[in-house]
Amino acid sequence: MMSSLAAVLTKKKMISEVPLKVSTFTSNPQSTIAHFEQFVRDRCKSGNLGIEEAMGLFDNAIQMRPLPSIYPFNQLLGVLNKLKQYSKVITLFKSMDSEGIRVDRITFGTLIKCFCQMGKLDFGFAVVGKIFKSGFEPDVVILTTLLKGLFKENRVRDAMKLFDKITENGYACDDFTYGTMVDGLCKSGNVDKAFKLFQDMESGNCKPNIVVYSALIDGLCKDEQINKAQNLFEEMVSKGVVPNAFTYSSLIHSLCSSGRWNEVESYFDKMMNRGISPNVVTFNILIDAYCKDGRTEKARTLFESMFSRGVQPNEVTYYSLIDGLCNSGRWEEATKLFSEMIGRGISRNVQMFSILILAMCKEGMVKKAHEFFDLMIENGVEPNTATYNSLLNGYCLQSRMDEATKVLHSMVVKGSEPNVISYNNLINGYFKVKKSDEAMQTFEDMCSKGLTPNAITYTSLIDGLCKVGRVAAAQELFMEMQARGPGPDVYTYNVLLAGLFTNASYEEAMKLFEKMDNDGLEADIVTYSTVIDNMCKSNNLDDAKKLFDSLPSKELKPNTQTFSSMINGLISKGMLKESEDLFTEMVDKGPTPDNVTYNIMIRGFFQNNENDKAVQLLYDMVDRDFSLDATNTSSVEDLLAADGLEGKFIGLVDKILPKLQSKGTVVTTVELDV
């Protein structure tokens, strides 16, 4: 069909439109027709003409004798096309044809639009043949419609060929044609071709308008060429083309994704200063971005400002903000916002209910979550697999496995098939309550239902089996992963390494560590921390120190656990000075020492009779709101009798008392091990 059209365009026969014959009417019919045509024109322009009325007016028009002109027919078909009544337009066109009504190029153009919107582009090209047979020639509007249809079906090459034929045969392309090409090329990922076309446009007679600029800026932003998009924006403004809300929204969205917040706020301010009102899309972009960045308070403020600017939030706005509040642990605010949304008549969907149920489950409020789940069903919203999984996981986290299995059963009964995540949640839950046999049975049930376990499934099983001492079974699963897939990732290696070390399989753990390197899998800081800790515990301090010192060359930063393990290892070998230096490095440069690190150092000082340093560090520890370690408190207690440090210890107790009392805790000497 493309080739036949191209051939016709190449010939470009200039065919004049045959004027419509005008019948001779009496004054009364002419007046009736004129009145009817004016009425149709006014109704079509009103913007509130509905489908039924449009169909009724069309029926009136086709039954009139003499027939009205083609104009009311075209206007009514145009309205129905805008109302997406494509099948009706095609049916009405056929009825016009059967009545012998002579259609014009506009009628054909509307018909082609319908076929393009319906994804039946070949029928659209077939209509072009009818245009020529009827004595007309397709104009640039019709050809541009066909270009849009080609892009809609992702036939980019065909669109480019047609565009070349259009320009080769002397058609004067307008803003609409260029805008269609630039937009289509950008949306299909051909941004560089769109930019080249834009440059050709600039050098020609048809200069880019705001639609073309906006489409290209949006394409550049989505292609992560934000700087080029910004330069084009400045060029556009300098040429007197006024940006619109869409232009600003494209830039703001891209800058939000890049975390360039100062520029985001700058563009938003410029937008306001130029008198361009942000629309709901602009607000949605900003609210969603702020929520994802953890800045829910700013998102909330922006949400409130929408009302004062006359912009009504939609379903997307509420979803983003409710999701952000839930992720920030502010589920009560999220629930209130949900109620507000219902009060405003905005539709509640399954995703909205699901994020609230998930948030409540994360907060340990499974009962409330289940009540909300029941409310969801009462409101006619069917839970999906993700909703069931949230509730199921909530019960698993609370070790309520009977309720969790009931949720799974309910899920199946209601026709929502459990997926891998459902079974992963159950497996984790069973291991949490030390029911390894039930966990393994769940794994077998999952496989028997044709579900493929993923890396998380296997990692959970390996971790759970190691924690209950079934290391051999864990190793078998690890080998199964390697043989069948999915391949073990760094998390899988980490849990098996930890399991082997915990179960006194040091040699096997070290072999696994070496295998990880040989298999080309990059170990992370958790891997190295586990190995270093166990090297120290196995009196291989020199190897641990070498591995610790090699971390910067691997572009890895030791974390608090890594430092704590090394400090503990050094102290166990009597290397107090070296451990103290390492601790000082943590305090000065990071990572921040935690409760474990402080207790290790304090114990080291006591063991080496550095009592003053120990007590001073104990004061520092309390200043940081860390909890007292019973062993170190016992060491201080021993000093009371031996060295008479009552004053210092009493000072420490006095310092702790206000802290604990402020939290509503009654402090006794028993709690302090005194």
Residue 337 domain-assigned (yes or no): no
Q: Nearest to residue 109, comparing CAs of 88, 130, 91, 92? A: 130
Residue 91 domain-assigned (yes or no): yes
Would the pLDDT of 477 be above 50?
yes
333: phi then psi, degrees, rounded to nearest 5: -65, -40
C-alpha distances out from residue 390 to 174, 291, 354, 372, Å: 53, 21, 8, 12
Q: In the predicted model, what is the mean pLDDT of residues 661-671? A: 39
Q: Nearest to residue 331, comparing CAs of 414, 394, 415? A: 394
Residue 241 domain-assigned (yes or no): no
> Do 569 and 541 contact (CB within 8 A), yes or no?
yes
303-314 pLDDT, tens digit per residue, is 999 999 899 999
Q: Which residues, 6 or more positions from 31, have their beta carbon under 8 angstroms from its beta carbon? A: none
Element of type H or E holding 243: none
> Do 241 and 277 contact (CB within 8 A), yes or no?
no
> Do 567 and 600 contact (CB within 8 A), yes or no?
yes
Q: Model confidence at 266, in pLDDT bands (50, 70, 90)?
A: very high
Would the pLDDT of 648 be above 70?
no
The token pair at 367 is 């009962």
Q: In the predicted model, what is the mean pLDDT of residues 520-529? A: 93
Final residue of a structural domain among 105, 138, 172 = 172
Would the pLDDT of 363 be above 60?
yes
Residue 2 domain-assigned (yes or no): yes
Residue 131 domain-assigned (yes or no): yes
Count of structural domains within the chain:
2
Final residue of a structural domain among 115, 146, 172 = 172
> Do 421 and 451 contact (CB within 8 A), yes or no?
no
Cis amide leading into 658 (omega within 30): no
Assign residue 664 a region (left: φ > 0; alpha: ψ between -120 and 50; beta: otherwise).
left
What pLDDT is attached to residue 24? 36
Element of type H or E holding 85: none
Would the pLDDT of 668 be above 50?
no
Would the pLDDT of 669 be above 60?
no
Residue 107 domain-assigned (yes or no): yes
Q: What one-letter code names the amino acid at 143?
A: L
> Do 567 and 581 contact (CB within 8 A), yes or no?
no
Q: Which residues, 6 or more positions from 600, have their beta carbon under 8 angstroms from its beta carbon? A: 564, 567, 568, 571
What pLDDT is attached to residue 134? 86
What pLDDT is attached to residue 16? 30
What pLDDT is attached to residue 305? 93
Cα(447)–Cα(443) distance, integer angstroms: 6
> Do 208 and 201 contact (CB within 8 A), yes or no?
yes
The token pair at 128 is 């072009």
Q: What's the chain's length in residues?
A: 674
Q: Which residues, 6 or more positions from 365, have their beta carbon under 8 angstroms from its beta carbon? A: 331
Output the pTM of the full model. Answer: 0.68
639 or 302, which is more confident: 302
10 or 534, which is more confident: 534
Q: Nearest to residue 112, comparing CAs of 151, 143, 154? A: 143
Would the pLDDT of 434 be above 60?
yes
Q: Nearest to residue 491, comparing CAs of 449, 452, 524? A: 524
Most confident of 8-22, 194-208, 402-416, 636-650: 402-416
Q: What is the CATH number of the domain that holds 69?
A: 1.25.40
448: phi then psi, degrees, rounded to nearest 5: -65, -20
Cα(189)–Cα(192) distance, integer angstroms: 9
Cα(223)–Cα(217) distance, integer angstroms: 10
Lowest average pLDDT, out of 12-16, 109-113, 178-182, goes to 12-16
Lowest average pLDDT, out of 119-123, 129-133, 617-621, goes to 617-621
The token pair at 195 is 């930019």
Q: How many CB atoms sit inside 10 A of residue 643's CB?
A: 11
366-390 pLDDT, tens digit per residue, is 999 999 899 889 888 899 999 999 9
Final residue of a structural domain among 120, 144, 172 = 172
Give the position of tokens 């921040």. 592
What pLDDT is attached to residue 672? 32
Would the pLDDT of 674 be above 60?
no
SS3 305: helix
Q: Nearest to residue 606, comparing CAs of 581, 583, 576? A: 576
312-351 pLDDT, tens digit per residue, is 999 999 999 999 998 888 888 988 998 888 888 887 788 8
> Do 431 and 439 contact (CB within 8 A), yes or no?
yes
Give the position of tokens 């290397």. 575
Residue 130 domain-assigned (yes or no): yes
Q: Nearest to residue 494, comparing CAs of 523, 536, 465? A: 523
Residue 407 domain-assigned (yes or no): no
Q: Model confidence at 597, in pLDDT bands (50, 70, 90)?
A: very high
Residue range of the domain that includes 113: 1-13+25-172
What pLDDT is attached to residue 65? 85
Average pLDDT, the chain: 86
> Do 519 and 503 contact (CB within 8 A), yes or no?
no
Cα(390)–Cα(385) distance, integer angstroms: 9
Q: Model confidence at 19, in pLDDT bands (50, 70, 90)?
A: very low
Cα(94)–Cα(227) distance, integer angstroms: 52
465-474 pLDDT, tens digit per residue, is 999 999 999 9
Q: Model confidence at 641, in pLDDT bands (50, 70, 90)?
A: low
DSSP H helices, 118-174, are 121-133, 140-152, 156-168
SS3 294: coil
Lowest average pLDDT, out of 92-96, 292-296, 351-355, 466-470, goes to 351-355
Would the pLDDT of 26 be above 50?
no
